[in-house]
Structure 1
């Protein structure tokens, strides 16, 4: 079932979504965190669903996304073309709502979060806190332009928590072998940033002009070939996880939904 929603925002992922699922493979450790937070919900709306990463397999899921390109890659039977700010559902239509790495794309963050609270009894939002330190080495050493872009897109975690009326905030230190190829995934595997297919699956990279990205990647390639990167970041190579500010925010019903 595919339902067209009102509104006409041109979605970023209409441009970058081709081949997205090949790079953005759900990581089982993040999936476990999200599924526990959903509390056994039987009906779930996934807002900004994309290709369906992290959706529970034991629930009836309705996928919502403003990008038809992304919905075309979604494997589920219930798909709705709509924006987070205008969800075409009745109040409390779902046991739970989920939103994974999407709130930074919404035109109206608070409006979208209000809609999550309106249509569900429990809300789970996975996002990134731009005020967290440390930041990824890629930004300081190669592409400082990412900092301005990300800080313009992401709302401080405290604002998300307040807008949702959240009762729980769970940290997610990123494993060194994280399979979901968003920007932070390769903090210990820098050679992956040299792959244009990997970069294209990141909305941040996809919005930067080649005139910035290509010289930066040339510098990274040279540092990898000379061993300079490894020398500077020998401490990272000993770590299994890094906390770069990714958090799962949970609001609404505190008791698990009935199974």
Structure 2
């Protein structure tokens, strides 16, 4: 994916796997002997049973840690592997980037023997997040073109169990809603570089909202408005695990 060749350069720094989210993903996978990670990026959340990562961006592959599973540079929509290649397939925060969702989900169903685990977000919940709702509604509107309804994914998977993934206040994986209690992080260009919505939305759309956020942080308005968040340990920001048994 050409986009991630340009925006993925900081992922190994800003997108470090969070152990609490990792535990949820690994529980959802069950106890497979073999796992293939599709849209694998830098390898976050890969369990020890991972035998192959499928990732279209060479920039992302280059950031995979030493000792990671081997990576195949290929797109989710056309995976050059045999049917039933592994017990389980997983696809984490990737399906909204795929150019052909139906083809990609079809490939997951083809290469997995027993189970598919997808980490995604419910756009109806996610776009109510304060950053988007109050400061970046235009960016959220642009992001709507990529967002995928959870019900549509469940249908394409042939049915799936849906699990809510709460986001801890000190989440180490810097995706969009990870800094819900650390708003100043969104003013950091390096943090934004690891969040695809920022990287794929024009600066002219982002800049005014970030300026308002900066002002509200300086004046204390943000903290007054969101005092209810300051003592919370975790929130539901719309992130969902879909677990499909084949």
Please indicate the TM-score interval, normalised by the length of the shorter structure: over 0.9
Kindly indicate whether the alpha-carbon contact (under 8 Å) linking 1:173 and 1:246 is maintained by their aligned counterparts in 2: yes
- Verify: 1:228 aligned to 2:221, yes or no: yes
Deviation, 1:41, is 1.2
1:191 to 167, 184, 197: 184
- The partner residue of 1:85 within 77, 82, 89 is 77
Distance 1:210 1:200 in 2: 12
List per-residue Cα deviations over 1:18-53 (Å, max 9, x = no partner).
Answer: 121100010011101111111111211100000000
Alignment of 1:1-259 (within 5 A): 10-57=1-48, 59-75=49-65, 76-121=68-113, 122-132=115-125, 135-253=128-246
> Superposition RMSD on alpha carbons, in Å?
1.3
Partner Cα distance (1:136, 1:60) in 2: 33
Alignment: residue pair count: 243
Task: Give, in angstroms, the shift of residue 180 of structure 1.
Answer: 0.4
- Runs of 4+ with deviation above 6 angstroms: none
Q: CA deviation at 1:74?
A: 1.5
| Matched residue SS, 1:104 | helix
Between 119-128 and 37-46, the greater mean CA deviation after superposition: 37-46
Normalising by structure 2, what TM-score?
Answer: 0.95
Name stretches of at least 5 consecutive residues in structure 2 with no aligned partner.
none
Task: Answer with 187-196 or 244-253: which moved more.
Answer: 244-253
Determine the C-alpha separation between the residues in 2 that align with 1:42 and 1:133: 33
* Partner secondary structure for residue 126 of structure 1: strand
Give the CA deviation at 1:133.
Answer: 6.6
User: 2 CA distance for matches of 1:148 and 1:184?
Assistant: 16
* 3-state SS, counterpart of residue 230 of structure 2: helix
Distance 2:11 2:125 in 1: 27
User: TM-score of the superposition, structure 1-length normalised?
Assistant: 0.90
